[in-house]
Structure 1
Amino acid sequence: MLARDVMTRDVVTVGPETSVRDIARQLVTSRISAVPVVDDGGQLVGLVSEGDLMRRPETGAERHPSWWLRLLAEPETSARDYVKSHGLSARDVMTRDVVTIAEDASLEDVATLLEGHRIKRVPVIRDGKIVGIVSRANLLHGLVARGPVKAPSLDDRALRDALDKAVAETGIRKEFINIVVNDGVVRLWGAVETNAEKQALRVAAEGTPGVTGVEDHVGVLPQMVRAVIWAE
């Protein structure tokens, strides 16, 4: 299996000028822990994670080093930390040196990269533009789907593309779900807002020509989370 086979394709992104408040709201409503930052041309320029928003004066969690640590710190480091904690836009707080992978990266290589860099997710890049994202959860989905099959066939990838189109017709917010196809079997993961959407997703999978089976692991978002989404 390759990164393209398990990645989440409908990636939530923000622009460099997106406010920190809007980014925090996006992380909460989309139930994600990081969001890629792309420029007007769609090129990946950074990543904002929950960790980047931890030490903020608004939350009372801003770090206040002792006076002697301030004396020892390099001016550039202090200035960078200040921008990180007080910046108002993605451009100010984002991590710029983002680790990325290609679509044809093996799951073993992805796992090694996540472990080696101690990160939870990695953007998938084609010609400098983000086409997906692979998280630790996506790797687990691939592990479950893999079974005794060595790799998905080209037919499986065609099924995934066809199913993406079918799901788009249902009107479901696809950023909450992930689809893995292996040996003709579709495995659905993630969450939807209502039972009707859960049923529509299953019907779309079952009705896609070539699908030999559907395993539904999709949950329904709690009312409290749906209220936050609808308020957007």
Structure 2
Amino acid sequence: MKAQDIMSRRVITVRRDTELKDAIAAMLEHGISGMPVTDENGTLVGMLTEGDLLRRSELGTERHRPRWLEFLIGPGKLAAEYTHAHGRTVADAMSASLHCATPDMPLQQVVDMMERQRIKRVPVLDQGRLAGIITRANLLRALALVAPTLPASLPTDEEIRQQLETELAASAWAPRSMLNLVVQKGEVHLYGTILDGREREALCVAARNIPGVTAVHDHLVWCEPTSGMMVEEPPEPDQPGQRGA
């Protein structure tokens, strides 16, 4: 899947010379938390987001630091922060640092960029012109469309076991050599030893995601490497219609 497959092509933008109050009104009107900023020629020059509006003099939330720390930071950065907190145009408050995608960029690279840069939206540029934008909402919509469905015919127990074996073999975290997988009538039984408690849930998730699996039974034992303490598997949940004693 590529960026152009999920991006929003209708992009709400704002000019860099727009009054900040008008930009805020536009964000509220359209129900968006950020928008690209362009210059008078339509060239992308920055992003204005809710995060850029947290430190504002009107709210009394501008940064206040000890004098000794201000001395270390230097006047240049302090001056930039003052402009950011007191400015009246979009150019004063926007983030000029841009992280963009192209229409044919693989979605994996887009998500890697969003995580690495800790951003919630990525403009998509086609030959330097703004062609769309990808937000976390776009990713959720794409995920909803490709959610796995059961095949027309259910796989056999052996096919389920083989699919799970293949999935775990491709996962660097899976302690494959210490596991025993048993499948009976579509129900997966996980036996063996794990060295990290988080592996338990990951193994259960991997099993549940195999088409045709109707239940997953956790019989794993957690061995804490440092202390050697052994933690038995959790009790099986009550079956529907049953009550605890």
TM-score, normalised by the number of residues in structure 1: 0.61
> Which one has more relative contact order, counting CA pairs under 8 Å at least 6 apart?
1
CA distance in 2, matches of 1:40, 1:148: 46
- 1:146 paired to 2:146: yes
- 1:132 paired to 2:132: yes
RMSD of the TM alignment (CA)? 1.6
Larger radius of gyration: 2
- 1:31 paired to 2:31: yes
Match of 1:41, SS state, is coil
Match of 1:95, SS state, is coil
Instruction: Tell me which residue corresponds to 1:44.
Output: 44
CA shift, 1:40, in A, is 2.2
CA shift, 1:124, in A, is 0.5
CA distance in 1, matches of 2:25, 2:122: 21
Higher helix share: 1
CA distance in 2, matches of 1:141, 1:101: 19
CA shift, 1:148, in A, is 6.2
Instruction: Tell me which residue corresponds to 1:158.
Output: none
CA distance in 1, matches of 2:61, 2:32: 21
Match of 2:145, SS state, is helix
Identity over aligned pairs, percent: 41
* Contact 1:57–1:85, Cα closer than 8 Å, also in 2: yes
CA shift, 1:147, in A, is 4.5
CA distance in 1, matches of 2:40, 2:59: 31
CA distance in 2, matches of 1:10, 1:90: 21
Offset from partner CA, 1:103-140 (integer Å, 9 cap, x none): 01122111111111111110001122211110111112
- 1:3 paired to 2:17: no
Instruction: Tell me which residue corresponds to 1:14.
Output: 14
CA shift, 1:146, in A, is 2.6
* Equivalent position amino acid for 1:95 in 2: S
The number of residues matched between the two structures is: 149
* Contact 1:46–1:95, Cα closer than 8 Å, also in 2: yes
Residues 151-230 of structure 1 mapped to structure 2, 5 A cutoff? none
CA shift, 1:56, in A, is 0.7
TM-score, normalised by the number of residues in structure 2: 0.58
* Contact 1:107–1:139, Cα closer than 8 Å, also in 2: no
What are structure 2's unaligned runs of at least 5 residues?
150-245
Match of 1:122, SS state, is strand
What are structure 1's unaligned runs of at least 5 residues?
150-232
CA distance in 2, matches of 1:144, 1:45: 32
